[in-house]
Each structure stands twice: as C-alpha cells, then as structure tokens.
Structure 1
Amino acid sequence: MLFCYWSLLILTLIAHSKILDEYGVWVIDDDNYEEALMIQHDLLIEFYTPSCEFCKEFSPDYSLAARTLAKNDPPIYVAKVDASVNIELVKRFSIKKYPTFKYIIDKEVIDYTGGYSEDRIVAWIKSRSNRHVKILNITEQIDKSIEENIITALLIDSLDSTQAHSFLTACKAINLVNFIQCACSACANKYTTSTPTLLLFKPYDERLIDYIGDFSSFSLISFINKNKLPSFIDFNQDAVELIFGDSNPGIFIFTTNRDFYEKWFRLLGKEYKGILLFSIVDADTTDWEKIAHFFDIKKLSEPVVVLLDTRNNQRDKYRLESEINEKNVKEFIEKWKNGMLEVYRKSQKIPEKLYENNVLVVVGECFDDVVMDMNKDVLIAFYIPYSRGWRDLVYEYEFLAEELEHLENLVFGKIDSTENQLKAIKVESTNSVYFFPADNKKGIEYNGEKNADGILEFVKKYAFYEITELKDEL
C-alpha cells in the first residue's frame, strides 16, 4: 500500500509539473531542474547535444531503460539535458564532452559508471535505489559484519538524525563499502566516547579511522571515497575491481625490478591517496600479459609507467615518456590533474606496403592525414581481422575499390579496429564503413547492405567529387 501511495503521489506531481517527456525520458532545462529534483530526489541525467552521433545511437536504449524503470513501484525516472541550449546547467556540472551522465542523490552529484545498454542502465540505477544501511544493535553482529567485508563504515547515532540521512545518501553513492548504523548504548560504549561518530574499518593503511568533520552528505562521501582506497595495492583481482569496477583512476609501473621502484612509489601513493590508486605490475611474478595488452605494452624490455583515468565512464590512457623516477612521475601526475596530458592512443606502425588489393592500409598515427585531406573523398572500413563480418565485407569492399581505382579523388581505406585507437571518431559497431567526403570530415556511417551495390549508391549520394566512368557495370 505504501508503494502504491508513493507511485500515485509522484504521478500526481508530474501531471502538474512543467516537465516534458520524450519517449519516457524527462526533458530537463535551466528552468525546471529544481522542480524535477523535488519530484524525484535521485535522478540520472544525460547531457547531450543534437549533433553528437553517439548520443543519437544511445538514445533508443536510454528510452527503453526509462520505460522499464517507470514501471517500478514507486516509478523511477531518468532525464536528459540538451547541452547546446541549457548553458547554466552545463556550467553547473562542468560538462566538457558528450554524452556525459550525472547521478543526483539528494542533491549530491556522482558520476555514472554503468554501461550504455538498457539492461546495464536499469541494473546500475536499481543497485543504488535498493541500497540500504544495515541497522545492527548487537556488537557481536557488528564485529561479524566488519570481518566479512573488506571496508565498513559504521555510524553510531540515533536512527532519525540528520546524520543518519546523510549516511544513507553516502550509502547510495559509494561502491564497495559495507554501511552499518548502530543506535544502542552498548555500541557507543565499545566503539566511541561520543555521538555521532563515524568509523571506517579496512584491512590496509590506517586500519581504523575516526571521522572528524561536519556530517553533510557531501563531506561523508568525500571522506569515505578518499579513505576507502589503499594508497598502494599489488596488482591482482582486487586492484582490477577497484579501478575498473569502481571507476577509480590508477597509475601502474610495469617492471621486472620491483624493489628498485617500490619505496618511492609507495610514498607517492600516500601523497595522492584518494586521487589515484598506485600499483606495481610485476612481470616476473604476476599474470601481467592481459593488462599489458590493454595498455599496448607488447614486450617489457624496459619499465613502463601508465595512468588510466576511468572517471566519467571513460578509459583514457596516458603514458610517461621520460625517465622513470620520483620527480618525473610526480610531474606526470600533476599534468594529468591539470588536464595537460595527451591521451595515449594505440597505433600500428605505418606499413611498408601501403595498399592491399587497391585498399589503403590506414593506421592510427596516419589516420588524420589520410581522412582529413580536403582534396579527397575518403571511405574507411573499420574492421576486426578474421571475424565473420569482415570476411563477408572484404570481398565486396575490395571489388568496389578496384572498380573505382581510376577516380583520383576517391580513396578506399581500411583500419584494424583492434590495433588502432582514434581521437577524431568513436566507432561503436564492428566491421563498419564510414565515408568522409571532402566537404564533411565529421564522417557518415554506412548502414546499408554490406555489398558493392549498396556501398556504391551510398558513395554516390554523399561524394563531393562526381563518381563517373565505372570500369564495369556492377
């Protein structure tokens, strides 16, 4: 009955609000943002622009997720903001790229760290809306819960206090932490001398931290997020979960001489605690090849330092190019903090044989030079070697390239998507074809049948230079 009451109340508020709905998604703007949060305190917001191609591709999944969540009891709504016109909200949330997602929990803002499919969006939001603080009033139960979890936050205070409300907000915002509240005198006598008290238990660094500060939800979230992370961690499954599963940026040294770097690297970890997770990948003793491949480290003839930024649902990689020592690593981190580093992008070397069956072999480091040539219409196939999709496409693609090889202003190219990463374009589908005519270098994706006839009609439609005098009829 209570759920039905809240569902009815929310629907009534929406009916009398100024919030529009597009395919199940609330349309938020500079004027109705506060009203939206009055109706639903916890809200996922997508910042998009109408010109963003990935935003367009993602839109159907977001709408499906919105409709699924709206069936919840009480209903859960998601929203979107057109960043091209709602400048105040863009400034308020410091939005710099699109799409960007922010999750609001009782007016506190956290980054969305889920996926882009309908089921992942739904699962991520429900995992937070269903979180709760464990209420335990027997000290033996508390001790057992602390023992069973790696990290535990314990609040000792009355259940209806403002501190308890802030603690619940922190619980919804933070991953990988066990939240417990105790209101009985026995807990107070065992763990503290005053209330309210917040204690953080963990098996590394300071094993027990007694929080000192105000009990706003923002302060609690900042404190727990900063102190839940170890200052240094050996590379293992725990490190993978903390960095990739919880969107914490990390910095790694890949080396076969751990002892040479560990002392000063651990000290830097303490200095940047809560900002970066420090880890050494020991190539002599750990199964390091998978993570090395992820960072494009093919062989370890000398140590390598890499930084992975997983914030805002990204996986941006940076590589230290100078000598590895404490001073240079610290400068490297400071440049990253200030946005002064270029993202490292994997690239094959430019091949000696530039053409294969009339198709130009393109790699990451020469992609812009080829595609951005304003005197050429450029067709690029983004492929995965040995995949069935590429086997089905390659014959048709090479056949058409041969038929049109007489056209000097038309280039057929291909790039291995598994070995090259690009800044200018984000390709979401595998074995796809994009066209970059001389008058539109943003790129147009081909969505037709993967055959020569279909690709030819597509090229004719968008080409800047006229397609004439085919060698043979296709």
Structure 2
Amino acid sequence: MESKEIVLVKFFAPWCGHCKRLAPDFEKAAAELITNEPPVELIKVDCTVEKKTCEKYGVSGYPSLKIFRNGQYSQDYNGGRTADAIIKYMKGQAGPSVVVLSSKKDFDKFTSSDDYVVVGYFDSESKLKDSYFKVADTERDRFSFGHVTDKSLFKDYSDDIVVYVPKKLHNKFDTNEIKYDGNYDTDKIKEFLTYDTVGLVGVRTIGNLFQFTKKPLVVVYWNIDFALNPKGSNYWRNRVAKVAQDYKRKVHFAISSKEEFSHEVQEYGLGDRSTSDKPIVAAQTKDGKFFMDTEFSVENLKNFVEDLVKGKLKPYLKSEPEPDTQGDVKVIVGRSFKKMVMESDQDILLEFYAPWCGHCKKLAPIYDELGKKLARENIMIAKMDATANDVPPPFEVQGLVRFIFLLFYYFRLNWADFYFANLISQDDEIHQFAIL
C-alpha cells in the first residue's frame, strides 16, 4: 500500500453477518472510487487468516474500516455503510487536506465561511508546519484547513496556526481569532482544535459532539437557528456567556437546539417543558445528570451553576417502577440499581437491552433458561431496560439505542471489579462467561 495515496481497508471475518451485508456496497463503492482523481482503492483483509495484521491495527470488531495514506494508518472510517455514503465520504478524504491560500482574495473567501476554519501561516519549512499537515490529514472531516502562501498576509502571524471564528458567532466575550500557543506535538494541536476553539459558550450540534466531552458540561436548549434567527440565537448565547465568564476552566458551557436534541431533553425528564419559549437548562457531571427547575434568567442560571459546582444538587435518575415480584432473571431499574447491584453480596451478570432490539428478543428465551440453570448458584442473572432507566457512572450505556444492540456487564462481588462484554451468543457461551 506504500505507493497508494489513500486506501480504505475493510477488516472482516467470513462468518460475520454484518460483513456479509456490507460486502455488496463495499464492492460497488470500490468500482467507482478507483476511477476517482486521485484514485481511492478499497481492499479487504480476512482477520481469520491475517491475524497479526489485524492485531497490529487494533481490530476489535467486524467489519472495521480504516483509512491508510501512503501505506501508513491515518484514521478510522467514520462514514455511513452504504455504497453512496462510502463514496461521498472517501471522495472528501481524497486529494489535498489543506487549501492553498495564495492571495488575499483566497484568504477572505476561505475565512468568510459559516463554520470555524483553521489557517496555517508558514513561509518556510518547520516542525510545526509538518505537524499541521499531518493533523489536517486526520482531522479533515472535522475541520477545514488552509495554508497561507501570500507573504503580504504575514503581518500578524508567522509559523503560526490560527482558528477563525465565523462572523455569525462573534461576540464581546470571545476573541475572533484563536492562536495556537503550543509546540509541534500533533496530539496537542488536535486537543487545541477540539476543545479550545468553541469559545466560552460553544454551539453544540450532533455534528460536533466530539468537542463537548469534558465535564461538568452545562447545556442550554433553545430554538437555536443562526441562519434564520441569528439575533435571537446570539441573544441567549450572550446571556449564558455572562455566567460562563466566571467559571472558565471549571465548567464548560454550550447551547443546543431543542429540536435537534429532543431525545436528550426527554432523557433529562424535561419533555413537558420543550414547548416553552424560554431556554431550558441541563448539566452533566461525573456524578450524573441535573436540570434547572426554575425559569431561565441570568441570575437563576448563575445560582444553578454555583450549586452544581458545590455539589448541592441531587442528580436526576430516570427509572421505571420497581417490580412487585422477581423471577429467575432479576429486573433492575434505575432506582434499584445501587441496592441490587452496587450493594449486592452476589456476582451479577447484567444485560442492558432495548425492547425493540431484534437480537435482544432472540436472546430472551436463552437468557431466561440461563437464569433457571443458575438460580441456585451465587450468581445473579439480571436485566435492565436501558431505554427506560438510568445507571450511575461509571456504568454508562450511552448510545445503546442507536449503536449497540446488546450490552453486558459482569459484576464481581460488591462491584469492586466489573467486566464488559458485547455478547450476541448461544446459551453455552453465555453460561461459560457467567461462571468464569
């Protein structure tokens, strides 16, 4: 692969059902992408044969899609799994990752984008320049990168990386040009782009969730629309910023669309307030989820954040009612999790499932039989509807509804140790896992 500019590799196993379903789309995409300019080659690696190769690149599930550039691993593939989605994503990955800005006209056009853009000012070779281009290769699907070559534009910057904030997000609380002050370490540059460029109050969308993983995180939900209502959107953002400026580096703040994150609003138990014309506020910390139960105002938000920081708030826990009776497979809900799992004197195999999940339905009679077999052992076989109940950290199962069909935790005595397994298996295999 060393001679290939860009290659998409599918790591698979012949017995894997998902691999078989992907195969025709992968082949169709391969036929079209090979004619692209530059050509994008798609190849496949059978992990039952090339075990060492798959281990080398950390393949832990099938199919795994990874992008290589000039023979070197670049990044995991993060696009869709249909032929059209693969073609679109890989065309975006092919070609230069950095736009050359050879004139002021090019520069003005590039920095007038409605999104954040990254510009490198390099008039000679340097370690920072090398790192910048490496980062651009791996982060091109997250950020737009430019490279100034017109020396007349080097008035304020030289051998620098600068992020330009879109005009619609300019405010008096943040700078509109964010300069990177670190060294040439690529991880440091990525961290800067990810976390240090969103400002005091970031605009959080489904597409940039990767920039809002640090906690505590306070999110203000409203009818955010910077295209149709920039004035109203900025009005509420600035109200939040008045509070955020007092908690720099302590608390992270964001605004999000109530419509785009309607599922999240429901998860916080705020569904009945989703039609309000005032923003609603929720927070995530290492201790759980919280929401502000008073009407939005700068003063109320400040009080909420202060209580959050001081640990005065009680976490919100979504829970079904506890069942009146229990069978061989114990039913655990949000409010009984601590008592039945964390304070249990038994080892526990706990399944987190979704009622609509086909794999879960298929497993149900097998799992019930396992419960009967181990009913007299000192092992609790249990299940929990992850769509209707919350669990305390660190046992989060976020994303189960969309990404994971079947999730198991195995808890050793008093949950001092727990193991994770994503099992879609037969009775004997689950039984073997349970008695390890």
Pairwise same-fold verdict (TM > 0.5): yes
In the alignment, does 2:288 pair up with 1:292?
no
2:350/2:382 contact within 8 Å kept: yes
Change (3 A) 1:443 1:350: farther
Equivalent position amino acid for 2:146 in 1: I
The alpha-carbon deviation at position 25 of structure 1 amounts to 6.0
Q: Name 1:332's counterpart in structure 2.
A: 308
Question: Match for 1:418 among 384, 387, 390?
Answer: 387
2:353/2:384 contact within 8 Å kept: yes
Equivalent position amino acid for 1:319 in 2: F
Q: Name 1:10's counterpart in structure 2.
A: none
The alpha-carbon deviation at position 239 of structure 1 amounts to 3.0
Question: Match for 1:137 among 94, 102, 109?
Answer: 102
Quote the Cα distance in structure 2 between the aligned partners of 1:228 and 1:438.
44
1:26/1:77 contact within 8 Å kept: no
Change (3 A) 1:138 1:347: same
Q: Any residues of structure 2 matched to 1:260-409 within 5 Å, and which?
A: 265-270=240-245, 278-280=253-255, 286=259, 289-300=262-273, 305-308=281-284, 318-319=289-290, 324-330=300-306, 332=308, 346-351=317-322, 353-355=324-326, 359-371=329-341, 376=346, 380-395=350-365, 397-398=367-368, 407=376
Cα deviations by residue, 1:47-100 (Å, 9 ceiling, x for unpaired):
xxxxxxxxxxx73559x66xx66xx4632259xxxxxxxxxxxxxxxxxxxxxx
Question: Match for 1:178 among 144, 150, 164?
Answer: 144
Q: Name 1:469's counterpart in structure 2.
A: none
The alpha-carbon deviation at position 138 of structure 1 amounts to 2.4
Quote the Cα distance in structure 2 between the aligned partners of 1:143 and 1:460.
64
The alpha-carbon deviation at position 416 of structure 1 amounts to 0.9
Equivalent position amino acid for 1:253 in 2: V
Q: Name 1:23's counterpart in structure 2.
A: 52
Gaps of 5+ in 2: 6-49, 224-232, 295-299
Q: Name 1:201's counterpart in structure 2.
A: 164
Quote the Cα distance in structure 1 between the aligned partners of 2:113 and 2:238.
31
Equivalent position amino acid for 2:71 in 1: P
The alpha-carbon deviation at position 229 of structure 1 amounts to 1.4
Quote the Cα distance in structure 2 between the aligned partners of 1:461 and 1:287.
40
Q: Name 1:239's counterpart in structure 2.
A: 205
Quote the Cα distance in structure 2 between the aligned partners of 1:282 and 1:143.
29
Quote the Cα distance in structure 1 between the aligned partners of 2:430 and 2:55.
36
Quote the Cα distance in structure 1 between the aligned partners of 2:131 and 2:430.
56
Quote the Cα distance in structure 2 between the aligned partners of 1:316 and 1:352.
26
Quote the Cα distance in structure 2 between the aligned partners of 1:193 and 1:370.
62
In the alignment, does 2:44 pair up with 1:75?
no
Cα deviations by residue, 1:386-427 (Å, 9 ceiling, x for unpaired):
4444444445555776x6798596755432122234446577
Q: Name 2:32's counterpart in structure 1.
A: none
2:2/2:71 contact within 8 Å kept: no
Equivalent position amino acid for 2:340 in 1: V
Equivalent position amino acid for 1:201 in 2: Y
Structure 2-normalised TM-score? 0.56
Paired residue secondary structure (2:72)? coil
Structure exhibiting the larger radius of gyration computed from Cα positions: 1
Change (3 A) 1:288 1:215: closer
Change (3 A) 1:230 1:131: farther
Equivalent position amino acid for 1:416 in 2: D
Q: Identity across aligned pairs (percent)?
A: 14
Equivalent position amino acid for 2:335 in 1: E
The alpha-carbon deviation at position 210 of structure 1 amounts to 7.2
The alpha-carbon deviation at position 150 of structure 1 amounts to 1.9
Gaps of 5+ in 1: 6-20, 28-43, 47-57, 79-102, 104-111, 310-314, 465-474
Cα deviations by residue, 1:85-129 (Å, 9 ceiling, x for unpaired):
xxxxxxxxxxxxxxxxxx9xxxxxxxx9969x9xx9xx9999889
Paired residue secondary structure (2:405)? coil
In the alignment, does 2:73 pair up with 1:59?
no
Quote the Cα distance in structure 1 between the aligned partners of 2:366 and 2:146.
62
Structure 1-normalised TM-score? 0.53
Paired residue secondary structure (2:273)? coil
Question: Match for 1:147 among 84, 90, 112?
Answer: 112
Q: How many aligned residue pairs are there? A: 355
Quote the Cα distance in structure 1 between the aligned partners of 2:303 and 2:389.
31
